[in-house]
Structure 1
């Protein structure tokens, strides 16, 4: 796979496949195998007397090195390597699946199928949704959908155009580690600390691109972009994560609905910072959120692809 293909054609084709086909449900997803490997490593470490913190850090380094080397070897295979790279690029993006899941859950709420919607949303979030009413479920759906615009699309696309499929899957590996190990409870506070920190570092730039692209998309869609511009930086800084607040704050202010407040995680109720203006997430706002996400993602992809293509051309 030559550099020109990696820089331009593969990301463009991968984006189109993701939008029109969603995730590759017809074929075992690489994240599934990655998750199985991470779960095995987690259980193995806990069966020993080794330091969870040290082994967690070594796990981050080891898995990323293996993923990088294996993918680089696969990409080097004549002809077939191009197809493998395209598949890995396509499988690493989750915009289509994210929008589909959001629409499905929102549709169930609109139909009054609260328990079915609760079950669907529970699979998308890490918080406990058992006691949430309809308004709470809509807010939880809006929070996870907006936050995952960066984690599921902009950040992996960023690393795809910067470092090709291998770089993309190093990011996906760390992101998956963070989702599995990055909890600050007794079980994972040491073992997952390096994975969580690595994810914060790698997602730092993409999260800010996401926030500002949402702002730009909001202007095109004639949403309240001026008030969003005035409040984006302040509200984005409220979250414990240095990155999650950017897409959440942009969505909350553009659509005029609040995020944050009380939430329950693993049986413990916590008070999350309040983001956005006073207002509830209604059916129409969730639909506009989907449109905002699509515009923001496409604009981010165009910006990143053209920018890094120009850099590659200037270095020829």
Structure 2
């Protein structure tokens, strides 16, 4: 009973509840925006160092992640205010509530036939061009970004929050933000952003695979097509160029029986992404709504399992130390 009570009233649970209730209000400051401003200031100075672009990029990654860890750790150790900082940084590091709210807004726009508004809103969620997307492509793109960001925006930061508290969580978030800003295989960032992309790949490796299995578990509880998904999603997951993105995407594609992948335009360059899931299956608005419930359920399942694992490990180590 004490384990259950500790799990229900822990910092990650509190952060999760606040995230679902508040999302990311624009009137509140957010550390990711601060990190973005810092990176905009840092980039030209790092590029000007007398070393290779890969080396200056790697130095920038190590410095930024270290500074974020030290700053958050220091603030959470402040007397009296430390607990408030701890709750704030834990909540601010999770983005499941905001992700689902934004995705639902796009679905509502599509239901109302407001395609131009939907393209603009979807463009805020993805790095690919949405300017000329038809409704079917927008639905598919929304399914892809919500499933992928379940890991990047929630499971991975939650994993590091449970593992090492807000400081470790924000070291990871710093790397993730650097990857989102610099981790592109364009001429401008191929070398400078190399370290950010590789660091993000390493840090998200385990969370991405956990996300895939959490989706399968949640799909089983929701009585979705989980047996076929369990057998087939891993083979699809490794088709992606990213070592991590395919795991949650493929799991969702098979569970919801919707095809992912195909043509997309990134920074003016057309790409043909590998197909995931059963072939020729369109994403309907009803499938998207059900997928949002699957994603939320997967997040709750992950929260409970991570917490119970930590409590069990802490209890075992305590007994072994006695």
Decide: shared fold, TM above 0.5: yes
| TM-score normalized by the length of structure 1 | 0.96
Matches within 5 A, 1:1-316: 9-47=10-48, 50-277=51-278, 278-316=280-318
Larger mean CA deviation between 87-96 and 17-26 belongs to 17-26
Q: Give the distance between the partners of 2:6 and 2:183, measured in 1 at CA.
A: 35
CA contact (8 A) 2:7 2:304 kept: no
Q: 1:76, CA displacement in angstroms? A: 1.4
What SS does the corresponding residue of 2:157 show, helix, strand or coil?
helix
What SS does the corresponding residue of 1:263 show, helix, strand or coil?
strand
What SS does the corresponding residue of 1:243 show, helix, strand or coil?
coil
CA contact (8 A) 1:207 1:246 kept: yes
Q: Give the distance between the partners of 2:80 and 2:311, measured in 1 at CA.
A: 22
Superposed CA offset, 1:134-185 (max 9, x none): 0001111110011000000000000000010000000000000000000000
Superposed CA offset, 1:44-96 (max 9, x none): 23456642211100001111111111112112112211110110000000000
Gaps of 5+ in 2: none
Distance 1:156 1:6, change over 3 A: farther
Q: Give the distance between the partners of 1:243 and 1:207, measured in 2 at CA.
A: 5
Larger mean CA deviation between 62-71 and 182-191 belongs to 62-71
Q: 1:132, CA displacement in angstroms? A: 1.2
Superposed CA offset, 1:212-245 (max 9, x none): 0100111111111111011111001110111100
CA contact (8 A) 1:24 1:91 kept: no
Distance 1:229 1:255, change over 3 A: same
Q: Give the distance between the partners of 1:45 and 1:55, measured in 2 at CA.
A: 6
| TM-score normalized by the length of structure 2 | 0.94
Q: Give the distance between the partners of 2:71 and 2:6, measured in 1 at CA.
A: 19
Gaps of 5+ in 1: none
Q: What is the aligned residue count? A: 313
Larger mean CA deviation between 265-274 and 151-160 belongs to 265-274
Greater RCO (CA < 8 Å, at least 6 residues apart): 1
